Amino acid sequence: MSGTKRDKTVSGKNPPSSPNEFDTRFLELTALFEVSQSLTSTLSLQTILENLLRIPMGHMLISRGIILLKKNDEPEFSVSGLKGLPHQLMGKLLSIDTPPSHAVFVDEVDEKNDWISFFKEFRLKLLLPLNSSQGLIGIVGFGEKIGGKLFEESEVEFLNSLSNIAATAVTNGLMVEEIQDVNRRLDRKIQQLNTIFDISRELNTTLDEHKIASILSFAIMGELLVNKCTVFIRRDDQLDLVISKGIDPNLKIPVKVLEFADPVIVSESERFSYLSDAGISVLVPMRLQDETRGLISIGPKITSQPFDEAELEFLKTLGNQAMTSLENARLFEEALEKQRLEEELNLARTIQQGLLPKIMPDTPGYEVAAVNLPSKQVGGDYYDVISITPKRYGIAIADVSGKGAGAALLMASLQASMRALIRDDMDLDDMVGLVNNIIFQNTDLDKYITFFYGVLDIDKNTFAYCNAGHNPPFFIRADHEITELKEGGIVLGMMPDVMYQTGKVTIQPGDRILMYTDGITEAMDASGEEFGETRVKQISESFPEASARELMEHVLKAARSFSAGDSEDDDMTVVVVRATQKPDAMS
């Protein structure tokens, strides 16, 4: 700031030269004392600033005045007090890199200071710094005196002294205002915490996902005065809309949007700005265990006011709390679903085991052994041994596609159909064709049954069979020759009116028929290798003298040992038939 002759006049302090001047100085000191009392009698910053302008302007008939207070450590000053100037200037920020350090007239300030144009524009003539013990805190500016009179040296001294006294009062006012602001923010925080506590308590009264989202949306709308709110929940690779208030329910937001952890004001984000067209102002992630699992979108305030930091923090906390409640609801629903599945599995096991024969019919000259080991998930394995006549026995094994009660019920339909159709005068292939039509008419296309049915004639020592897409049983002769029983057709239930073929083998003493379901061959070890048909053949060859029950147990034990309990997702069923006597003895 360059000095001038007028600057020296402003800053000079000459003693009174006459009694009249002495009286004038005395009056000024008295007025200064009274002003000082007025300034220090209140802690209200606005009152202090108003008095700082009103008293000297009234005392000296000054036309206009302004007070600018410094903003933190930045070279910015905010218009904080006005008299005789447009009210719109309040709050205006002015950057002043080289503020005056003493009283100075505006028209004597170097034009290189860009900020001086502001004071000239509004016809301010005199600037005085507000210096406190903390340094410069503001600037006071006064316009010309009414009538165009110049400021006298004594008047400048008076205003300078007044500004020094006022600086302390302004500092105190700023401190009080800061304390009040902290208290207001603290009160608001307490209110928000109480609100969050009340809402959380209400959220925890229900485990219904939609009701939780509804409570959350109404709480946000009421607390922040908004009329638009949506809640999305992440499910797999998409965001599902749970509730929508005032926003298009068809709004789709990609799941990749969740890659942020703090609330975002849409208008300030280039990434999310496109959502403004949908009436969204704020996005709030709903997080749990450091992972974003949901999203709240909020429209603008009814008051058109911007969202502040405290409100965004409130939304973040509330959203996270709601996500915990939603997760509890999800876990509860999972527990209910698990319970329902357990009940379904128990029902399926009851149905399945109830359809298997309790006691094997007596088959003179033959051993028949069978076992069904249910899986954890319950499949649709089925076997049956039925006495058609005293000399003829129907033997069946089947595997229904799918798991659970549905598979068990389909198995029940198969058993009922087969037992209703079995007659001694019906050809085997015709019976299988009729069963296929019944299954086709009563199931969906994705449901089917692999089925093997044979008739053992203990008088003729023959075994006629029809294989409807089942794992081919092994016919193991006493001389170790192995034949697969493949003759038949496609699986049951795929299409109607299928023509099936029949096969027949003659049985000699020591011959065996080994039937099984794919739970045996598809049993896997830890590396993912299947047990396979080759191992089943090897077992039958390794125990040529084994009884029907012993061979059945060897196969089952080997398959279970191979999987070591790692593969129990399918039933394991084995049926073995063994001729024990010579044909002539059997007759």
* pLDDT tens-place string over residues 130-157: 998 888 999 999 999 888 888 888 888 8
Query: Between 485 and 528, whose confidence is greater?
Result: 485
Tell me the three state secondary structure of residue 379.
Answer: coil
CA 394 to CA 390: how far, in whole Å? 11
CA 256 to CA 409: how far, in whole Å? 43
Residue 357 has pLDDT above 70, yes or no: yes
Query: Residue 231 pairs with which residues in a beta bridge?
Result: 243, 296
CA 281 to CA 181: how far, in whole Å? 27
For the chain, percent helix, then strand, then coil, each to nearest 5? 45, 25, 35
Locate 415 and state its tokens: 């058993």
Q: What pLDDT is stored for residue 566 in this prediction?
A: 55
Query: Between 284 and 39, whose confidence is greater?
Result: 284
CA separation, residue 316 to residues 240, 245, 282, 391, 414 (Å): 20, 19, 11, 80, 58
User: What is the amino acid identity at position 53?
Assistant: L
Residues 6+ apart with CB under 8 A from 366: 456, 458, 577, 578, 579, 580
Mean pLDDT, to the nearest integer, of 558-564? 87
Q: What pLDDT is stored for residue 175 in this prediction?
A: 86
**Residue 17 DSSP code:** -
Locate 229 and state its tokens: 């709110």
Give the pLDDT band (50/70/90) at residue 369.
very high
Residue 12 has pLDDT above 50, yes or no: no
Biggest distance spanned by C-alpha atoms of the chain: 161
CA 159 to CA 501: how far, in whole Å? 120
CA 360 to CA 549: how far, in whole Å? 12
**Residue 287 DSSP code:** E
Q: What pLDDT is stored for residue 2 in this prediction?
A: 41
Locate 186 and state its tokens: 């603290």
Locate 563 and state its tokens: 């999987």
Q: What are phi and psi of 488, to 5 degrees?
A: 160, -110
Domains and CATH numbers, the chain: 5-178 (3.30.450.40), 204-332 (3.30.450.40), 356-586 (3.60.40.10)
8 A C-beta contact, residue 437 and residue 497: yes
Query: Between 256 and 83, whose confidence is greater?
Result: 83
Locate 319 and state its tokens: 């959203």
DSSP letters of 412-450? HHHHHHHHHH--TTS-HHHHHHHHHHHHHHTS-TT--EE
Q: What pLDDT is stored for residue 79 in this prediction?
A: 93
Residue 107 has pLDDT above 90, yes or no: no
Locate 373 and state its tokens: 């080991």
CA separation, residue 134 to residues 100, 138, 479 (Å): 16, 11, 112
Residue 35 has pLDDT above 70, yes or no: no
Residues 6+ apart with CB under 8 A from 580: 365, 366, 367, 509
Pick from 101-115, 193-207, 461-475: least confident: 193-207
